[in-house]
Amino acid sequence: MRLSVRDLRAVWLLLTAALLACSAPLLAATQDEVDVRVLIDISGSMRQNDPNNLRRPALRMLAGLLQPGTRAGVWTFARWVNNLVPVADVDAAWKTRTRSLSEQINSPGQFTNIEDVLDKASSNWAGEPTTHMRHLVLLTDGMVDVSKNADENDQSRARILDTLLPRLKAAGVKVHTIALSERADHELMQRLAGETGGWYQQVAQADELQRAFLRMFETLGRPDALPLQDNRFVVDSSVSEATVLVFSKPDSPAVRLRSPSGEEFTDSDLTAGVAWSHDQGYDLITIGSPEKGEWSLQADLDPDNRVMIVTDLRLQTSDVPSHIAVGEQVRIEAYLSNRGEAVTRPAFLRLLQVHADEVAARGGRPLDLNDSGTGDDETAGDGRYTMRYGDSQVRDAIELVLAVDSPTFMREKRVRVAIHEPVEGAVEETADGPVMTIDVQPAVMQDGAGIEVWQEGEGARHSPLQPLRAGSGQWRAALLDAGLPVYVKVSGTTRLGNLIERTVGPFVAAGVELSAPAVIAAAPAATPVVEVAPAPEPAPQVQQEPAHAAAAAVEPPAPPAVGGEEGGWLVPLIVFGAFNLTLLIGGATWWLLLRRRRAGAGGELDLDQLLADTAEGSPAADMEPAREKAA
């Protein structure tokens, strides 16, 4: 029997699909697909800390911002845990259901069972993620509180750190924590976030929740955005959907949105393709197939207003860690991709200005992001822009804005970084005299760090102290003289896999004045460098290992020699492997050829259109560069 070409293609496709299915557990999740589970405290104490139930609009805002390719679910917890919104793909129906169910969030419960909600929300996560990167967002205002018995509370907290946290780390889960009160267990929240590579944020009052959720979304969702300058933004031909987030003061006039053709929109006067949600403190506007050109807002100017987009022309960045140690540096790479393929056309790249800025409380500064083939950039003109980032000082919250400016389009992406000392310490007065307490920071240091402690007197007289372990990553040392400064040296491996040795101090008892200002006693013995791999370029079916895993990878040992009876398996294994490899390559090649045939020159059409727009002139050319805005 002779098979037709169609039959052969079908057989080939089935074999390739079977091979990929068998290999699926070995594939890694991509950064663009996330599974996020939001855990919201509804204990009775929230009546004081969130009396207006601002958790509801904050959740509705987060639901509205979540983009295609995301799976999400919502849990509420107090004494008991409730899966308020089951995990599902985020689409219009999921968003509608979440908005409706958010009205059930209030503060009726007793206790604060953080252990149970972490356990249940992550119960079906095991092994490294294969399809979606995993994130938990935990919002609470309290301590671990499962019983009126203090010992039971302590045991629950210990299980979180000793059992749940290792399980979450093994499953590749990033835990992001929001503490909504001074009395929350900040140490626990910081450890959960720090040790999993998540983000910790303390919120002083409930009306800051919406902005906290925005930052969490930008951290886990990594959305592409358009620069918003003076409430103006430019939409290009590659944008299929735009979501505009506008924060407003209570007495502000209604927000109005004007299209490039002059059409005005409000929340009460909409046309097809525009969805508008007016909520407490913000408006969220989603525009399908937005008109190309300059849009404008009549609204309050707010640094947290955003325009987030769905587009084939994306700004890709490497996976930037949320926490680095003082003295560490990370290599960050940025490039444009069009329909999943890196943009390398010289005629297109010549139109671009790709840059990065650091935005912090002390002000902004430009960073050296370049494609010149010098310094940290490997190849000039290949469309991959590179820089190294780090600092020699502690920085609590830094925002890095990576941006692309061109005459026809703009893009920006935001990442947040905290820079920590590897150890922190304080001198305390106890009944037995002054004691130095030392905490190795789990956000940046692996277990097993070595500690040396000493005091220094006149003439740099060195008096060693004997540190005693007081817990995981904690030491205590009795002082010889309360009037002398204390120094701590830590030696160990950072979470990014770098060896570090750093001396921190002086630490002094309360009321003791030094003749010189307190400074770091010594810089790191060597400035470690972290090689952070670029974000994997999306490819059909095959997904790549996350960049953070590649950075920490250790070269595997050489396989043992094969001989004797075991050698008889070598040829069949090679043949089997070659056959599977042929299927994989052939199937992927056929899929790509079919994709390109269906799209015609589609992979280049967007670029050609943008090049044509440049010749005609574009509103983007009149916008201030994002660098000037950040400064």
Amino acid sitting at position 25: P
| Pick from 14, 19, 44, 197: nearest CA to 582 | 19
Tokens of 567: 């050698």
Task: Identify the pLDDT of residue 255.
Answer: 96
Summarize pLDDT for 30-61 with one digit per residue, the tens. 557 899 999 999 999 999 999 999 999 999 99
| Residue bearing tokens 């969702």 | 221
| 99's tokens | 């908005």
Radius of gyration of the chain (CA): 27
pLDDT at 606: 59
The helix, strand and coil proportions of the chain, stated in percent and rounded to the nearest 5, come to 30, 35, 35
Give the DSSP H/E element, type plus range, for residue 386. Answer: strand 385-390
pLDDT at 578: 53
Shared fold status for 28-201 and 224-311 = no
β-strands 132-140, 30-41 pairing: parallel
Domain 423-521 belongs in CATH node 2.60.40: yes
pLDDT at 554: 33
Pairing of strands 410-420, 323-325: parallel
Token digits of residue 417: 């970084």
| pLDDT cut 70: percent of the chain above it | 76
CATH topology of domain 314-420: Immunoglobulin-like (2.60.40)
pLDDT of residue 567: 39
Helix (H, G, I), strand (E, B) or coil at 455: strand
Place of tokens 């209030």: 106
Residue 41 · residue 50 · CB < 8 Å: no
What fold characterizes domain 224-311? Jelly Rolls (2.60.120)
Distance CA 13, CA 586 (A): 9
Contact 463, 421 (CB under 8 A): no
Q: How many residues does the chain have?
A: 631
Cβ–Cβ < 8 Å for 282, 61? yes
Two structure tokens written together for 479: 């002082």
What is the C-alpha separation between 85 and 71, in angstroms, rounded? 11
CA atoms within 13 A on the CB side of 192: 29
Buried b (16+ CB within 10 A) or exposed e, 105-141: bebebebbbbbbbbbbbbeebeebbeebbbbbbbbbb
Cα–Cα distance, 264 to 262 (Å, whole number)? 6
- Low-confidence residues in the chain, pLDDT < 70: 1-31, 459-460, 514-631
Which residues, in sequence order, are bridge partners of residue 71? Answer: 35, 89
d(CA 407, CA 615): 9
| pLDDT at site 224 | 96
Which one, of 500, 458, 455, 452, lies nearest residue 475 by Cα? Answer: 452
**Domain ranges within the chain, ordered by starting residue:** 28-201, 224-311, 314-420, 423-521
pLDDT at 586: 53
Do residues 199 and 193 touch, judged by C-beta distance below 8 A? yes
The answer to whether 227 and 412 have CB atoms below 8 angstroms apart is yes
* 8 A C-beta contact, residue 474 and residue 437: yes
Query: In terms of DSSP H, where are the helices of 272-412?
Result: 346-349
Q: According to the model, what pLDDT value does residue 508 have?
A: 87
Q: Which CATH number fits domain 28-201: 3.30.43.10, 3.30.1360.170, 3.50.50.60, 3.40.50.410?
A: 3.40.50.410
- The token duo for 336 is 């444009």
- CA distances to 44, 88, 186, 466 from 213, in Å: 22, 20, 18, 44
